[in-house]
């Protein structure tokens, strides 16, 4: 596999309230646990939060909704970036009026 991947070539993984498309990982040259992908959230309520040993960053690509990171809620619209620190629960939901919220996410190792 090369250093790039096209979302159209990645099989989505259906999960509760979202579909995730893993994009970049060690097979593409990523090191130290870095990985990246795209998730499309369709749930209108927060689902079970994610919690990871490393931090996770997000960039909103399309749609509108909300993220809950720890006890903070963040308004989501295209261009908004946010981070979930290591060990902090986080979840995303779409607005009732929006079809989805699509985000690019990335995990980076904590040293």
Report pLDDT for 46: 97
Distance, first Cα to last Cα, the chain: 27
Sequence spans of domains, the chain: 7-108
Closest CA to 107 of 39, 51, 33, 50: 33
Task: Report the pLDDT value the prediction gives residue 1, as an integer from 0 to 100.
Answer: 62
Q: What is the pLDDT along the chain (111 residues), one digit of tens a residue?
A: 678 899 999 999 999 999 999 999 988 888 888 999 999 999 999 999 999 999 999 999 999 999 999 999 999 999 999 999 999 999 999 999 999 999 999 998 765
- Choose the CATH number for 7-108 among 3.30.470.10, 2.60.120.10, 2.60.40.10, 3.40.50.1820: 2.60.120.10
Contact 31, 80 (CB under 8 A): no
């Amino acid at each position: 596999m090369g250093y790039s991947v096209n979302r159209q070539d990645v099989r989505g993984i259906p999960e509760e309230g979202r579909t995730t498309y893993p994009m970049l990982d060690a097979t593409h040259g990523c090191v130290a646990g870095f990985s990246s992908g795209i998730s499309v959230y369709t749930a209108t309520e927060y689902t079970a939060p994610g919690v990871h040993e490393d931090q996770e960053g997000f960039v909103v690509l399309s749609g509108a909704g909300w993220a809950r990171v720890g006890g903070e809620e963040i308004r989501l619209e295209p261009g908004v970036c946010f981070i979930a620190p290591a060990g902090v629960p986080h979840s995303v939901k779409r607005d009732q009026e929006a079809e989805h919220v699509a985000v690019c996410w990335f995990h980076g190792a904590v040293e």
